[in-house]
Amino acid sequence: MSDTNSITASFPTLEAARSARKRLARAGFARNSIDIERRRDDFEVSIRTRDENRRRAEAILHRQSMPLDVGQVADGARSFVERNRGLSIGLAALAGFMLFGLTNRR
């Protein structure tokens, strides 16, 4: 007899379902035990886990992602730099001149 349970949660978008899968993986759950399936207009995330991890998995699945998740902020910054390369180079040059001016005072 198996002591694993299946826990499921529905999400309105694929992005929200993938975010839940990432949270579970970061919490230490095996990636191969996490599935995403489409159910009509929603996406269902299911995970197979042992009884002792059930409450933790449920809490992670039903928790909303942090608004300022470090990975999302890094992805946003990278995409901004890629879209606005000229502005990024100009800001980097300005920051360099400012640092040079502050450290080269007599």
Structure tokens at 52: 């002792």
Residue found by looking up tokens 């299911």 in the block? 46
Model pTM score: 0.57
According to the model, what pLDDT value does residue 106 have?
66
Which CATH number is associated with domain 1-65? 3.30.70.2750
Q: In terms of DSSP bridges, do strands 34-39 and 4-11 run parallel, antiparallel, or are they unpaired? A: unpaired
State yes or no: pLDDT of 76 exceeds 90. Answer: no
More confident residue, 37 or 74: 37
Residue found by looking up tokens 């007899």 in the block? 1
Structure tokens at 10: 């529905």
Domain ranges of the chain: 1-65, 68-106
According to the model, what pLDDT value does residue 67 have?
56
More confident residue, 64 or 75: 75
Structure tokens at 11: 């999400």
Structure tokens at 106: 């007599």
State yes or no: pLDDT of 1 exceeds 50. Answer: no
When pLDDT is cut at 50, 70 and 90, the band that residue 79 belongs to is: confident
According to the model, what pLDDT value does residue 46 have?
94
- Alpha-carbon distance 91 to 95, whole Å? 6
Q: What is the mean pLDDT of the chain?
A: 87
Interhelix angle 14-26/54-62, nearest 10 degrees: 140
Residue of 76, 70, 73, 64 lying closest to 20 (CA atoms) = 64
According to the model, what pLDDT value does residue 49 have?
92
According to the model, what pLDDT value does residue 5 have?
87
